[in-house]
Amino acid sequence: MFDRSRRNLLSRRRTPALPRMPWVVDEDTFVDSCTRCNKCVNACETQIIVKGDGGFPIIDFNRGECTFCTRCAEACPESLFRPTTEQPWGLKAQITPSCFAHNKIECRSCGDMCEVQAIRFKLQAGGVALPELDTDACNGCGACLSVCPASAISMTTKN
Ligand code: SF4
Ligand code: SF4
Ligand code: SF4
């Protein structure tokens, strides 16, 4: 029998630093009902789901991208995922000023990785082309994050 008060103590209701999986329900419901069985961790085709605080699964985009394969949702024995026909999440990439191109070093790695072409490069007079993110087009897959040599990309819901 799982002790819910202990589970709540472990999770402390903090918003996790890293995101949960796509289509996951709200955070309170998630930590109340996730049994930390690891089935989603083992099912993920790109192995980006890892154990976070308290053993609850989170996404680590430093390991790769989400392909929206839906395997995590299918593997979960609890009712913790919304229908996968819905939008997966509100995550968007964010490019910070430590970007090489912003520091006059030519780089287009993130744009090369973006399947939906949400990162376009704009030529600057006398400078290097700067990346511009189309937040409407970005689906939050995270493919751009691990390839950035400047660690200048983060994933956020606050764009
Ligand atoms: S949708 Fe697929 S790739 Fe994305 S987190 Fe779930 S199992 Fe991993
Ligand atoms: S998160 Fe995915 S869709 Fe968004 S900019 Fe990066 S690669 Fe493109
Ligand atoms: S991969 Fe990183 S350093 Fe290169 S252009 Fe994109 S954000 Fe800038």
Q: Quick: pLDDT tens for 69-116.
A: 999 999 999 999 999 999 999 999 999 999 999 999 999 999 999 999
**CATH class of the 92-156 domain in this structure:** alpha beta
pLDDT at 9 over 70: no
> From 2.40.160, 1.10.287, 3.40.50, 3.30.70, which CATH number describes the 4-75 domain?
3.30.70
- What pLDDT, on a 0 to 100 scale, did the predictor assign at position 18? 85
Rounded to whole angstroms, the Cα distance separating 84 from 99 reads: 33
Residue 14 banded pLDDT, cuts 50, 70, 90: low
- What pLDDT, on a 0 to 100 scale, did the predictor assign at position 7? 47
Residue nearest to atom 6 of ligand 1 (CA): 72
pLDDT at 4 over 50: no
> Residues spanned by CATH 3.30.70.20 within the chain?
92-156
- In the structure, which protein residues have their CB atom closer than 6 angstroms to any atom of ligand 2? 93, 113-114, 116, 118-119, 133, 138-144
Rounded to whole angstroms, the Cα distance separating 88 from 115 reads: 17
